[in-house]
Amino acid sequence: MCVILVCPKGVRPNAETLLACERANPHGAGVAWREKDGRIGWIKNLCADEVGQMLAEIEEEAVVHFRWASVGGEDPLLCHPFPVTGKAEAKIYGTAKSVLFHNGTWGRWEEGLERMLRLGRCAEPPGPMSDTRAAALAVRCLGADFLKTLPGRWALVDADRTRLFGDWVRWHGMMVSNTAFVRRTEPTRTRRRFGGERREQLSLWEGDL
């Protein structure tokens, strides 16, 4: 079902959390951040370890997405985010004024794309398509408030802020689009101590370790 993690400055998921997100959503991850010139940089088709390495290099807020391939199937180019531009380019990395992440499914995206094309609001985008890529085109044409009409949870990142649409959860200092990944962690481990056994909960959060 995908998951998005909005990570403020100084707040980062640990390796176990990233692995849990990947186990639940194994079809590629992406990261976005603000460049010094105000543009949004992104890179995608990452594994959990690579996401962790990227987060260690980003000082300010970062947004992470782990994809479960539904619309469009398994394709590295369909990992999130997508730039909010006239073509919503399906590129592995780049920069843009704003980018869009999605957790959920927009069932009528083909109808929406066809209407935008018919009205001349956008050109036929080359490459693989998905509901999220179509939504990035729609935001470029119709504005951010269009996301309020769509199902799912959305994160729209620009130079000034990260706007969240849909139902989000605050979890360990982050905003997350869902917590289904938590059940994909290794729940317990056994330690021997003073001749006996003690079971302890594995932490998902660096500050708890």
Bond preceding residue 125 cis, omega within 30 of 0 = no
Nearest to 28 by CA among 94, 73, 83, 60: 73
Which amino acid makes up residue 67? R
CATH code for position 158: 3.60.20
The domain in which residue 155 lies consists of 3-208
> 163-193 pLDDT, tens per residue?
999 999 999 999 999 999 999 876 544 333 3
pLDDT of residue 198: 36
What mean pLDDT do residues 36-41 have?
Answer: 96
Cα 1 to Cα 24, 26, 56, 69, 74: the distances in Å are: 8, 10, 26, 8, 13
Instruction: Assign 105 a pLDDT band (cuts: 50, 70, 90).
Output: very high
Q: Say how many domains are in the chain.
A: 1
d(CA 202, CA 205): 9
Instruction: Assign 131 a pLDDT band (cuts: 50, 70, 90).
Output: very high
Mean pLDDT score of the chain: 89
Indicate the pTM of the whole model: 0.87
What mean pLDDT do residues 142-170 have?
Answer: 97
